[in-house]
Amino acid sequence: MTRYIRFNAFDMNCVAHQSPGLWRHPRDKSWKYKDLDYWQDLARTLERGIFDGIFIADVIGYYDVYKGSNYHAIEQAAQIPVNDPIQLAAPIALATEHLGIGITASTSFEHPYTFARRLATADHHTKGRIGWNIVTSYLESGAKNISQGGLKTHDNRYEIAAEYVEVLYKLFEGSWEEGAVLRDAERGIFTDPTKVHEIGHKGKYFDVPGYHLCEPSPQRTPVLYQAGASGPGKAFAAGHAECVFVAAPTKNLLRAYVADIRQRAAAAGRDPRKMLIYNLTTLIIAETDAKAQQLFEEYQSYASYDGSLVFMSGWSGIDFGQYAPTDELKKVETNAIVSMIEHFGGKDRVWTVEELAKWGGIGGTGPVFVGSPSTIADILQEWVEETDIDGFNLAYAVTPDSFEAAVDLLVPELQKRGVYPTAYRPGTLREKLFGEGPYLPATHPANAYRDIEAVKRRDAEVATPLRQSAGV
């Protein structure tokens, strides 16, 4: 059976996303991020290219590590201004029939009870095409602006995330039974109250005693995405994620990551082949290699040195503004993205600050491939074969040009080679991705919460000895 290469479009409800300075390019339209027709036009292009989905990143907060302020972030529009991603779901769904819509939302900044309603609503409105990218957040500025004072430690954020998703599983999977909604006009019964249950959650971080506010959406739990690449992040992904995003700059790093995450998933009792892994990648495509190289150099002339280091400083927690351009990176433990420092301070290459800024000027921390459709197809097939990756999370240099080139030039080449789909599967996003049912499989930990009354009895049995030992 042919193993298809899969694409997601990586975007954000902001200007230039991960290519700071490219908003100045005369063909870039990212400044239209405020307009729904911009997103609908892009979504139609992606659906024409049989993309799995549009994956919409997000941050709560702003990048203020570089040179100790947010001046350059604001000046370069480095993910500020930025709008709410979940409000894009409905207009994108109205403009398309199949395209998945991945929404990023943090477990650090919103209570799970209210978020469950927002996510279920989006899954209803899109007829089951929603995915949730689970993040724990890394910007101190975000935590300070919602009265948290500052971020919790890296590992502690994943402990909170684990309980957060447990609450959502209880709400999505256990609160409303199958068949609870009757819509029986003759008897005057819309919902059978005996089939709707309080979840009775009382945990270390959250108390959620009551009912889920929404009837079950087409997928119940939307498709679960996760992008953590540190040790705790990989452990979390192995236990919960259906789609995993990584930003490995080299094949060696990517190969090791994919093998590790699949091994961890198997150890958690999950099928490692039912986990789709996408690597962040930027493609510069033109009709010939020479034209593509010329286009790449044109794009580089618009890239912002300060804007790039705004991101690198924010992602790592290291103020690269304090170093000279020729200084070499050192591995430093931070409370931000530990894995990024491991990537760029690893054994594969020694980086200077200037090289880091140039690398991150287009597309962020993933690789940038430049060439004709044939050249790019060769590269992508090579990466899939050598790393066991499933697909690529495509960032843009200039939008919509980068996505249109992928759809109009690259996709036909990949289809000609028989390594890219020519049509969508029917059904919800989960059915399109995995070819099975709309709900999470029985091997997923969410399955343990479908009989919520049994869960509450089990929790009560565990709690009783604890209370007795405490003299309660």
| 212 is known to lie in a ligand binding site | no
* Residues 162-183: b if buried by 16+ CB within 10 A, e if exposed: bbbbbbbbbbbbbbbbeebbee
Separation between Cα atoms, residue 449 and residue 417, nearest integer Å: 43
Task: List the structure tokens of 233.
Answer: 């992040």
Long-range CB contacts for residues 85-89, cutoff 8 Å, separation at least 24: 85/12, 85/13, 85/56, 85/57, 85/58, 86/118, 86/119, 86/122, 88/13, 88/36, 88/39, 88/56, 89/122, 89/125, 89/126, 89/130
Helix axes 353-360, 305-316, angle to 10 degrees: 100
| 154 is known to lie in a ligand binding site | yes
Separation between Cα atoms, residue 117 and residue 67, nearest integer Å: 40
Separation between Cα atoms, residue 215 and residue 332, nearest integer Å: 47
Please report the pLDDT score of residue 472 as a whole number: 45
For the chain, first and last CA: distance in Å? 60
Please report the pLDDT score of residue 85 as a whole number: 96
Task: Say whether 241 sits in a helix, a strand or coil.
Answer: coil
pTM of the predicted model as reported, rounded to 2 decimal places: 0.91
Please report the pLDDT score of residue 231 as a whole number: 84
Residues 6 or more apart whose Cβ sits within 8 Å of residue 377: 410, 413, 414, 417, 419
Separation between Cα atoms, residue 48 and residue 45, nearest integer Å: 5
| 424 is known to lie in a ligand binding site | no
The CATH code that applies to domain 6-283+365-460 is 3.20.20.30
| 104 is known to lie in a ligand binding site | yes
pLDDT (tens digit, 0 to 9) for every residue of the chain, 472 residues total?
Answer: 568 999 999 999 999 999 999 999 999 999 999 999 999 999 999 999 999 999 999 988 888 999 999 999 999 999 999 999 999 999 999 999 999 999 999 998 889 999 999 999 999 999 999 999 998 865 555 566 665 655 454 458 888 999 999 999 999 999 999 999 999 999 999 999 999 999 999 999 999 999 999 999 999 999 999 987 778 889 999 999 999 999 998 899 999 999 999 999 999 999 999 999 999 999 999 999 999 999 999 999 999 999 999 998 888 888 989 888 988 876 555 554 455 555 555 555 677 889 889 888 999 889 999 999 999 999 999 999 999 999 999 999 999 999 999 999 999 999 999 999 999 999 999 999 999 999 999 999 999 999 999 999 988 887 655 444 545 4
Compute the C-alpha angle 275/213/156, nearest 5°. Answer: 50
Count Cα atoms within 13 angstroms, Cβ side, for 251: 11
What residue spans of 192-304 are helical by DSSP H? 231-240, 251-267, 289-300
From start to end of 21-99, where are the E strands? 53-57
Q: Read off the DSSP letter of residue 174.
A: I
